[in-house]
Structure 1
């Protein structure tokens, strides 16, 4: 067991979530068990997966193998757009918990806004509200929702999302979304927190990991660029879910609680924003283009 204790953040319904979690986006199923086991051994106590990742079963197996009490690990997963709709989303919960081997989820969120069929999104979210009322989930939320999507949702539902998981890193800060989340009391959860999905060939360096501003700050603290970026998120109040299948990097990403960035360093990182999204545009997510069948088992 790692000696470091990750600080908690309090969600808008009073539930706590570790400020640092472990993600398994694009982690092949055959590598997921080992990666999650390594993360749990390192000290991570929040695992973020999704139906669309195809590795919920392996996350569940790693949790069982760890021997760690269920109550000590915060488990989050996501409903994919092909399972939007009230009854379909209730069934998506059954599929997810069956694969994870759990009776209750700590956090269940909608993976995309699906703006072109937002009636399905609203129905799906109302299913999440039912699951919350029934005690089958401890908190509910959304992912990749822009301010206008949040407004449309909040006009139609009762429970304010606990989190909005969005792409955030120094090259793509999404300040308008962060501000909207804050306005509504929603925790911003950063996916791709170190810009791992990005390529910026026109900037003179290929990724955030080689950015001279970030590397200089890292050198000054005796840390890596990845550690600096994760610390930037934490100090600005975001929950962060880095991913890796490499044990040394999993441990490196956890070692971010023994230093602090100055206000000037935080501002320098903020100034790197290019406004260029690495992931797909939320408005372009449709069931026709991004639909996939989520298997029963």
Structure 2
């Protein structure tokens, strides 16, 4: 590696240990009218319900300013920040064209065109983070098998636990690198015959490593404003997902591993570098899916 390359690597390593403020930067050509009314209403209602003593007498504008979802420019005009647009905007890609998800479902186990790289499905997913998570889940559902039991009631067990996919996609969007240098790269969700890979720009942040991620006390947020906002942003109407985009920060990876284990699948594999993070979930075999169905039946009948 050249001296210039070593310096660049050291700069990236230093940046991964320093609190980022890229998500809090004001977007100078954006307006608050670009925020989605449904998402904004849900966010404000949640915060006023849970912290009424703090926010009950504040205007909507004041709440946005308090959470770093908006800032005042030099002329005093309130404008969205990157965090505000990504969490609450109707179309944040109008300002950040590559802050999206590229989803591809391949025929085989490789992406090499000479080794079965044809794809079954491909789409670019845009919109705010709540919409991108829900739309990506819809794409994954469309391209995986479902094992079903039909008795007194129907029980479906998908190849991949939806909670694991949802957490992994939400975390990729929440923790990705939003620095100007990284905004040319998208989050990738690659679905192969034997696995799903979820790749996000930027490695693990702060004191979190592949060895301690998901353990008690090991939690660092590259995008602290975006992460906090997403705790109170609901999924939009029209999608099957319910609740809020993220729960207790730091517990997402533990939920992924728990849901995989419950379905008899191997633990997710993590790989982190200076410029990207990859989480891989391996598909369970038919026997594992059958056993998962039987466990679900027993739980439904009260035997487990």
TM-score (norm 1): 0.31
Q: Give the greater-gyration-radius structure (CA).
A: 2
TM-score (norm 2): 0.30
Q: Decide which structure has greater strand share.
A: 2
Q: Decide which structure has greater helix share.
A: 1
